[in-house]
Amino acid sequence: MRNIWTIAKRELHLLFIGPIAYITLIVFLLTLGIFFYIELNYAIQSQSYIPSMGTTFQLIAFPLLFLAVPAITMRSIAEEKRTGTLEFLLTAPVRDWELVIGKWLGGFLFFVIALSVTFVYPLILNILVDPGIDMGAVLVGYLGLLLIASCMVAIGIAISALVPNQIAALFATLGVIIIFWILSSPAQYMQGLWSEILLNMSLTNHLYDTFLAGVIDLKDVLYYISFTVFALFIGKTAVEIRRWG
Amino acid sequence: MIKVTKLTKDYGARRAIDNLTFRAQRGEIIGFLGPNGAGKTTTMRILSGYMPPTSGKAEIGGFDVVDQSLEVRKIVGYLPETVPLYNDMTVFEFLKYKADLHHIPDAEDRVDEVLEMIDLIDRSEGYIAALSKGMRQRVGIAQALLHKPEVLILDEPTIGLDPAQIIEVRNLIKRIGKERTIMLSTHILSEAQQVCDRVLIINKGHIVAEDTPQHLQSRLTGSQRVELKLRKNAEDAIPLIKKVKGVTSVTAHDDDSIEFEMSANQDARPSVAKAVVQGGFELLEMKQNALSLEDIFLELTRDDTPAPALKDRD
């Protein structure tokens, strides 16, 4: 158990040594800041529009998390394979699943930090909007974002374990996320069972109409958690297979 | 301490090691000698718990490397051939990381202790990327020592080091080897000769010889070789030398020296010297060539010939 935390700490530390984390954070927060500013000004100009976290949340989900997650996770296991340091990790008394979960936790915590910083926006809105905004809905929104982030980070880690280098990991992760992202679209043109299956597998289906609308539904929570666990399981298997030569 | 029985590893269709069997006692330093591709690294990776064998068994300290991999990794310190280090960490951070993974109490003190041992304490805050090859090697050895393992598996520990560093590392190995079991691989034969208690020569996935360096030498040489230097006309002396009792073969070398082989139980040197001088030749030098480990090694790992039969010790 301790190993998970040791690895997670190091992942986080390593992220902040290189440029990737800083660039990602700056772009992330700068983009949000710009749009938040626009939102506020638009609200000031138009008399009827009430600013909310809606746009901000949607922006965080897409394109920000969507692009940032692969960038952050691509390095995690692929780089260790490339430099050979994976051999060093696999001969330490660390279980394979501890390694995978530790890497995932490091990436996930990065996004917890990033999202925490954005919490300044609802606080600002709460002051500016009269009589205040629905903080409960805001928290639910953040929960949804954290869940989808956890899921995407898990996908990123699994793919990083499967492919030989960072660039392949970047594109493959993007690819997988894109596919799961858009699954709900073709679903609307299908009928019956297929439509249901695709709809429920889609990443976005469980976020926009639910969490971002302030609604917690247990099935959505379970969806993200099981997806995360499944992806991490694939990652662990990929690491195991490495051992067999 | 190390028990390997019929260990086999296939990479797809290629058999890297084939039915290897050997033992190492506690406190022994055994050397794995072999050309590149012989199977040394594969064997070490299996013993260090990195990968499982295709068949066969390996036990370290009584723990099976497959079923009790985690236990094995706790008592083994492993230095991979590639010495993989994290370039973007400092020496101290890296060693502390490894120490934490081993759950070493007072990790920071232990890291400092090991840094003293390998004489890198003043570079501990520097980035690994800035280290020279020799220093990287030492850090690699350091990370293997952190958790005071009972068994050390070192894959080519002195490769790339300069002569002074090689001596240091060998002394370190000998010092540590007093209380621990060490298995190292090398293709520097003099190293195997100097450092190891026993040497296993491996070629194409098979062990072709296993013994102490001294015994290997005497086992392989059924005969002994002597080198002669004459002032001139060396080849003319050959028929003379051949006639001497006990001489089994004579060859002339390019540098005007003659080498003859004599059987082990008869020292023909005085007779040869007499024959040569009486024949009118001026004898400048007579020297006995012990078959070096290098000759044994080359002999045993010659490409398509199967391993030559070793004479059993009398």
Q: How far apart are CA A95 and CA A103, in angstroms?
A: 13
Q: Which residue of B51, B88, B101 is in closest CB contact with A243? A: B51
pLDDT for the residue numbered A217: 86
Predicted local distance difference test score (pLDDT) of residue B220: 58
Q: B 82-101 residues with CB below 8 A of A?
A: 82, 84-89, 97-98, 100-101
**Residue A102 pLDDT > 70:** yes
Nearest to A68 by CA among A138, A115, A127, A135: A115
Residue found under tokens 């903080």: A135
Give span(s): CATH 3.30.70.100, chain B: 222-289
Contact B101 A92 (CB under 8 A): yes
Residues in contact with A223: Cβ distance below 8 Å, sequence separation at least 6, in sequence order: A200, A206
CATH number assigned to the domain with residue range B222-289, chosen from the 4 options 3.60.15.10, 3.40.50.1360, 3.40.50.720, 3.30.70.100:
3.30.70.100
The letter for the amino acid at A202 is S
Minimum distance, in Å, between the CA of residue B18 and any CA atom of chain A: 16
Residues of chain A contacting residue B78, judged by C-beta atoms under 8 Å apart: 91
Q: Beta strand B55-60 with B2-11: parallel, antiparallel or unpaired? A: antiparallel
Query: Is the per-residue pLDDT at A242 higher than 70?
Result: yes
Q: Residues with Cβ < 8 Å from A188, sequence gap 6 or more?
A: A195
On the question of a cis peptide bond just before residue B308, with omega within 30 degrees of 0, the verdict is no
- Of A57, A65, A62, A63, the closest CA to residue A39 belongs to A57
How far apart are the CA of A232 and the nearest CA of chain B, in angstroms?
21
- What is the distance between the alpha carbons of residues B189 and B34, in angstroms, rounded to a whole number? 9
Long-range contacts, A9-18 (Cβ 8 Å, 24+): A9/A106, A10/A106, A10/B97, A11/A76, A11/A102, A11/A103, A11/A105, A11/A106, A11/A107, A12/A106, A12/A109, A12/A110, A14/A106, A14/B86, A14/B88, A14/B89, A15/A72, A15/A106, A15/A107, A15/A110, A17/B88, A18/B88
Which residue type, as a one-letter code, is found at position B5?
A: T
Mean pLDDT, chain A, as a whole number? 88
**What's the confidence (pLDDT) of residue B306?**
46
Rounded to the nearest angstrom, the gap between the alpha carbon of residue A26 and the centroid of all alpha carbons in its chain is 17
Residues of A in contact with B74 (CB under 8 A): 93
At B196-235, the pLDDT tens digits run 888 888 888 888 888 887 776 666 555 567 788 887 777 7
Please give the residue that has the higher pLDDT: either A217 or B187: A217
ipTM of the complex: 0.85
H helices of chain A, in order, are: 2-17, 19-45, 54-59, 66-73, 78-83, 85-90, 96-118, 120-128, 135-162, 166-182, 184-187, 192-201, 218-243
Highest mean pLDDT, choosing among A13-27, A157-171, B239-253: A157-171
Q: Which residue has the tokens 């298995």?
A: B183
Q: Computed from CA positions of residues A190, A194, A200, A201, in that sequence, does the dihedral angle turn out positive or negative?
A: negative
Q: What letter represents residue A130's amino acid? A: D
In chain A, whose CA is at the least distance from the CA of B70?
A93
Instruction: Please tell me what DSSP assigns to residue A200.
Output: H
Q: Which helix (H) or strand (E) holds B300?
A: helix B293-300
Q: Pick out chain B residues at pLDDT < 70.
A: 216-224, 264-265, 290-296, 299, 302-314
Query: How large is the average pLDDT for residues A28-35?
Result: 90
Rg from Cα positions in chain A: 19
Main-chain phi, psi angles of B143, to 5 degrees = -65, -25
Q: What is the CATH number of domain B2-218?
A: 3.40.50.300
> Is-contact A202 A177, C-beta < 8 A?
no
> Phi, psi at residue A83, to the nearest 5°?
-85, -10
Instruction: Say how far apart CA A135 and CA A49 lie, in whole Å.
Output: 19
Residues A112-138: tens digit of each pLDDT: 999 999 999 999 888 888 777 888 888
Return the residue matching tokens 């995690």. Answer: A76
Backbone phi, psi, residue B120, to 5°: -125, 20
The pLDDT of residue A167: 92
| Cis previous bond, A63, omega within 30 | yes
| Cβ neighbours of B76 in A, within 8 Å | 91
Which of A6, A88, A96 is the best substitution to test chain B (most B C-beta atoms within 10 A)? A88
Among candidates B73, B84, B100 on the partner chain, residue whose Cβ is nearest the Cβ of A87: B84
Q: What is the pLDDT of residue A125?
A: 87
Per-residue tokens: A196: 């249901």
pLDDT of residue B313: 41
Task: Produce one character per residue of A52-70: b if its CB has 16 or more CB atoms within 10 Å, e if not.
Answer: bbeebbbbbbeebbbbbbb
Judged by a CB distance cut-off of 8 A, whether residue B167 touches chain A is no
Q: Which of B100, B103, B128, B139 to mutate to test the interface with A (most CBs of A within 10 A)?
A: B100
Q: Which residue has the higher pLDDT, B313 or A168?
A: A168
CB contact under 8 A, B50 and A3: no
What amino acid is encoded at B25 in this protein? Q
Nearest partner of B17 among B25, B28, B32, B6, judged by Cα: B6
Give the DSSP H/E element, type plus range, for residue B249. Answer: strand B247-252
> Nearest-CA residue of chain B relative to A242?
B51
- Which part of chain B is CATH 3.40.50.300? 2-218
- pLDDT tens digit sequence for B245-270: 777 778 777 777 888 777 766 777 88
Of these ranges, A61-75, A99-113, B226-240, the one predicted with the greatest mean pLDDT is: A99-113
Spell out which chain A residues touch chain B, with contact meaning CB-CB distance below 8 angstroms. 2-3, 6-7, 10, 14, 17-18, 83-95, 243-245
Domain ranges (residues) in chain A: 2-243
Nearest to B70 among A87, A88, A95 (CB): A95
Sequence-ordered alpha helix ranges (H) in B76-150: 91-101, 107-117, 133-145
Whole-model pTM?
0.81
